[in-house]
Structure 1
Amino acid sequence: MKKAFIMLPLAVACASQFVMAATTDSQRLAQLEQQLAILQEASAYDSLSDRMSINGFFTGKVGVASNDAGYNGYDKDADFSEGSKLGLQGTFALTEQTNIVAQLVARGNDDWSTEMEWAFLSHDFDNGFTARFGRLRVPLYMYSDYLEVGYAQPWASPPSELYSIVPLTSFDGVDVIYDFDMSDVAVTLQASYGHADRDTGEKLGEVDYKDILGASASFSYENWVFRTTYYQTTLDTTKDGQIPQFFNDEQSYFAGVGLSYDDGSLLAIAEFAVSDVEGNYADTESGYITLGYRISDFTPYVTYAFLETTDDSERNPAYKPSFDWKRNAYSIGTRYDISSNLALKADVTYATDFGDTSGGLEPNLDGVQNQINDDTLVYTLSFDAVF
């Protein structure tokens, strides 16, 4: 009995140590599990960040004109919103070959409201083909893929004589791109199909671009790039503007060619296009040529551009003031690369030779549809950044 009494404290002590050891192991296990969860979560975050990339662009622009003709949206009052924009583009890699791409753009001339310019799923096959589905860019011009990114363009503003002919920048649909090499020539072929609904302004209202179908081809050799494109669609008014039911399943097409040369110093770009729309809307021929030369961080350039409608004699006289167009534009400007992602551009453009038309400028018509100005001078300053 005494012996048992003597052993009791030892047993209690051993039991206490066992309980303490068990508690310590439990706590250590819980700590290890917590650390493992933190590591797994951090690994998941690292993996997510590796699969996602976000970049953006910004253009801050101010312009003023010698009169109120409305060239590039400018009049006699300095405008800081026309042409200014902010964009964000995100790419998320679902797999090594499949990506989701989205681009949001907010424009100053639209009260900085945000629009989804791109939103598509892209899959790269192993044989040079890429398929994309969703909201895509309409690839009409040499700079279509960089139409929103001012930093990627040599000008303060792309020549509107060509780049404003089609009031549509994106569509909902599918395209297929095929890249391959033909000897020393890099070839890119692209075919697209889809549709778009767009508000084209107060005059024409909302328009449905049905069955957008077309293709483009680009050929790159050393410092040269040649590009050609053809697209067609059917136009139908879905909500009337000032002109009721202006489009009623009218067929239209756009065909263009472009050529550029860039050896790091000399820069030369030229594009030409024809557009045709059934009915009373303007059929056009338009184009431009730009020559520039890089001197250190500066790239001075000159541009000549033209626009002319080709169906004036066929148009209903009631629509002639709005859709008879003619003008020539002469620009001189320079680009200064502040850093690897910042550029400052200055441009002076003289638009003239309107003939007896508005020059294709809607503000240049008075209340009885007569021409107000037969030329205009526009000054533009642009700050472009990518990040």
Structure 2
Amino acid sequence: MSEKKLRRLPLAAAALVACVSAQAEYQSPDGKFRLSGFGTIGAVRNGTDDAEFNYPGQLGDATKRASLNPDSKIAVQGTYKLLHTVSATTQVLTKYDAEGQYIPNIEWAFAKWQATPALSFRAGRMGAPYFMVSDFRDVGYANTMARPNIDVYGQVPVSQFQGADASYQMNIGSSTVVTTLWAGDSKAHFSAAATSPPLEVLLQGQIGLNIQAELSDGWSLRLGHLQGKLTLSSPAITQLTGFANLLATGATQYAGSAAPDAANGATAAASFAQVDPLLNVSGVNASFSGVGLTYDQDAWVISGEFTKRKTDSFASDTTAWYGSVGYRVGKFTPYFGLSKIKSDRRSSNPVLSTNLVGSPDINAQSTVLHSLVDNVLGFQKMDQKTTTLGVRWDAMSNLAIKAQLDRITKPADSNGMFFVPDPASTTAQNFLNSKRAVNVMTLSVDFVF
């Protein structure tokens, strides 16, 4: 499929909305095969041109010019029952990605064995269970709001893992508890700036435990924790660390010269040498923990999550939470939400400004290196808080229309969760260094078929 056709995909998906009410999940006559799908057509308008609004990891796009890219997507899912207790599921999802394209991707491809009514095993590619709504985070129709809360769900850019899990269901009094142990590897691309290639994110050797409890009277509780090994890489980081190592070699040679301030060369070399271990993230410890609570009964729908991310890398440790409440009035559900993400730890720029009297070239290159490292470390400056107000209209049994306003406030020295195309530009620096409040408006149509 050509790039031109791929960029028109949201409009092609929009055509499905006209006939979705006449469609339903397909099931073969023998009951062994089921085919279904879902999609979203969403227009987003950002209140500023200084930074772009997107779902973290995408190539950006939404400014004061409304864009279909952040939320629009379409997927088809099929399940085939091989035996009475064995089935296979595949889901193909197409949405805007880190390269700024719409490329169909196999999101799920796994086999499931229902060993007993209470015990099941799965193996293959599955939704990564980091959050309360991980299994249906892309299914806009299944979520009250226009999208899963970005302050919380934007912390982890991967949405799938390849591996296996085992789930056991038990009844405790009036509650149903499902415990899932899972293990595997994840890979994703994250676009941090339009001026450099996407960052490759690898989470390997992950081991996680999730506990989901369906309590009485409409309450549901979810606890989750995982740990694994994180690797971050990109051609831009490789070039940057190579530049730092060359500069460290030059400063070391200066330290061995007869220059009167030769000792300063050793200090400069030491600071340049710290860039490689800081930015060369390979197999470091990473963990993610979360607790979520929902209430859905009668007219009320309430949800909230609290999460913590930790890594032994320049990707900052973060704490995030959100809470939302909605009230159904006929086919309409007005809702309100609050959320926040903050950095618990940030890595500082190790490159010191130099003033080597005998080497103006090293001095100039040191200034450039300091700026380049700052641009990379801007990845960890994501503090912001969000107030959300919206309404959902269930226009049909399988189609919902949502209008949402997010007021996002970020402090100085933070880009929030916004996408900054060129971190080195004056506009980007002004946005980073000033406190801002930005309104983001969304109008979306979610459907299932």
TM-score bracket, normalised by the shorter chain, equals: 0.7 to 0.9
Deviations 1:28-53 (A, max 9, x none): xxxxxxxxxxxxxxxxxx97752100
What is the deviation of 1:249? 1.6
Of 208, 212, 215, the residue aligned with 1:218 is: 212
Q: Which amino acid aligns with 1:208?
A: L
| Paired position in structure 2 for 1:370 | 429
1:62 is matched with 43
5 Å matches for 1:151-190?
151-190=141-180
| Rounded Cα–Cα distance in structure 2 between residues aligned with 1:47 and 1:277 | 47
* Distance apart, 1:143 and its partner CA: 0.9
- Given that 1:207 and 1:239 are in contact with CA atoms closer than 8 Å, whether structure 2 keeps it comes out as no
Q: Which of 322, 327, 333 is matched with 2:384 structurally? A: 327
1 CA distance for matches of 2:35 and 2:198? 37
Match for 1:175: what amino acid? D
Q: Secondary structure at the match of 2:31?
A: helix
Report if aligned partners of 2:208, 2:224 keep a CA contact under 8 Å in 1: yes
Amino acid at match of 1:62: A
Distance in structure 1 (CA, Å) of the matches to 2:33 and 2:124: 19
5+ unaligned residues in a row in structure 2: which ranges? 1-26, 55-59, 242-278, 351-372
Preserved CA contact (<8 Å) 2:53 2:419: no
- The 10-residue stretch of structure 1 (367-376 or 336-345) with the greater mean CA deviation from structure 2: 367-376
Deviation at 1:80, TM superposition (A): 1.4
- In the other structure, the counterpart of 2:299 is 265
Q: 1:361 to 1:211 in 2, by over 3 A?
A: same
Structure 1 CA distance, aligned partners of 2:96 and 2:283? 33
What amino acid is the match of 2:120? T
Distance 1:80 1:47, change over 3 A: closer
Contact 2:166/2:181 (8 A) holds in 1: yes
Q: Does 1:125 align with 2:115?
A: yes
> Structure 2: how far apart are the matches of 1:362 and 1:207?
17
Q: Is the 8 A contact 1:292 1:300 kept in 2?
A: yes
The 1:62/1:49 distance shift into structure 2, 3 A limit, reads farther
* 1:383 maps to 2:445: yes
Matched-pair identity in %: 26
Aligned to 1:315: 348
Q: What whole-Å deviation, never above 9, does each CA across 1:15-35 have from its counterpart, x for those lacking one?
A: xxxxxxxxxxxxxxxxxxxxx
Q: How does 1:1-387 map to 2 (within 5 A)?
A: 49-68=30-49, 69-72=51-54, 73=60, 74-108=62-96, 110-201=100-191, 202=196, 205-222=199-216, 223-237=218-232, 239-242=234-237, 244=241, 246-312=280-346, 314-316=347-349, 318-319=373-374, 320-363=377-420, 365-367=423-425, 370-372=429-431, 374-387=436-449
SS in 2 for 1:113: coil
Asked if the contact 1:161/1:287 (under 8 Å) is kept, the reply is yes
- Answer yes or no: is the 8 Å Cα contact 1:280–1:316 preserved in 2: no
Q: 3-state SS of the aligned residue for 1:156?
A: coil
Cα offsets for 1:39-93 (capped at 9, x unmatched):
xxxxxxx977521000000100101111032233421111012210110000000
Residues 282-312 of structure 1, C-alpha deviations (whole Å, 9 max, x = no match): 1100010001100000000011010100013
Residue in 2 aligned with 1:39?
none
Q: Helix, strand or coil: the match of 1:105?
A: strand
Aligned counterparts of 1:48 and 1:113: Cα–Cα separation in 2: 32
Counterpart CA distance in 2 for 1:354 and 1:306 is 12
- SS of the equivalent of 1:375 reads strand
Structure 1: segments with no counterpart, 5+ residues:
1-45
In structure 2, C-alpha distance between the alignment counterparts of 1:339 and 1:163, rounded to whole Å = 28
Normalised to the residue count of structure 2, the TM-score between the two structures is 0.72
* Distance in structure 2 (CA, Å) of the matches to 1:310 and 1:349: 24
In the alignment, is the contact (CA less than 8 A) between 1:305 and 1:330 conserved in 2? Answer: yes
Q: Mark the structure with the bigger radius of gyration.
A: 1
Letter in 2 for 1:152: A
Distance 1:71 1:334 in 2: 20
State the Cα distance separating 1:315 from its structure 2 match.
3.2
Tell me if the contact between 2:151 and 2:320 (Cα under 8 Å) persists in the aligned partners.
Answer: yes
CA RMSD of aligned residues (A): 2.0
**SS of 1:272's equivalent?**
strand
SS in structure 2 opposite 1:161? helix
Distance 1:301 1:366, change over 3 A: farther
Distance 2:158 2:378 in 1: 23
Greater strand proportion? 1
For residues 150 and 280 of structure 2, the distance between their equivalents in structure 1, rounded to whole angstroms, comes to 24
Could you tell me how far 1:105 is from its partner in structure 2? 0.4
Secondary structure of the equivalent of 1:234? Answer: strand
* Count, aligned residues: 341
